[in-house]
Amino acid sequence: MKNRLIVTLTTVHGSRQYSLGQVARYILFLFVVLSGISFFISNWLLVKTTDDLADLEENHQQLSDQYEMMLGTQNLYRNELDQLSASLAKVANERDRLQADNIRMGDKLQEENLRFGELNATLDASLSGLETLLNVDTSEALTSERLEALTMMANQRLFMLNSIPNGVPIQAIRINDGFGMRMHPIRKKRVMHHGIDFKADVGTPVYATADGVVEYSGNKGDGYGKQVVLLHNYGFKTNYSHLNKIEVSSGEFVHKGQKIAESGNTGKSTGPHLHYEVRHLYQPINPAPFVSWNVANFDTIFTTVKSIKWASLKNLYPLNQIAQP
**3-class state of residue 10 by DSSP:** strand
The per-residue pLDDT for 19 is: 63
Predicted pLDDT at 323:
43
Residue bearing the bigger pLDDT, 58 or 163:
163
The residues, ordered by sequence, that sit 6+ positions from 37 with a Cβ below 8 Å of its Cβ are none
The pLDDT of residue 305 is 94
Q: What are phi and psi of 106, to 5 degrees?
A: 60, -135
Of the two residues 292 and 83, the one the predictor is more confident about is 292
* Residue 74, C-beta contacts closer than 8 angstroms, at least 6 positions apart: none
Helix, strand, coil in percent for the chain, rounding step 5: 45, 25, 30
Strands 236-246 and 273-280: antiparallel
Q: Considering the chain, what percentage of its residues have pLDDT values greater than 90?
A: 35
Instruction: Give the pLDDT band of residue 279 (cuts 50, 70, 90).
Output: very high
3-state secondary structure of 172: coil
CB neighbour burial string for 306-316, b if at least 16 within 10 angstroms, e if fewer: eebeeeebeee
pTM: 0.58
Evaluate if residue 154 carries a pLDDT over 70. yes
Crossing angle for the helix pair 144-163 and 22-105, to the nearest 10 degrees = 90
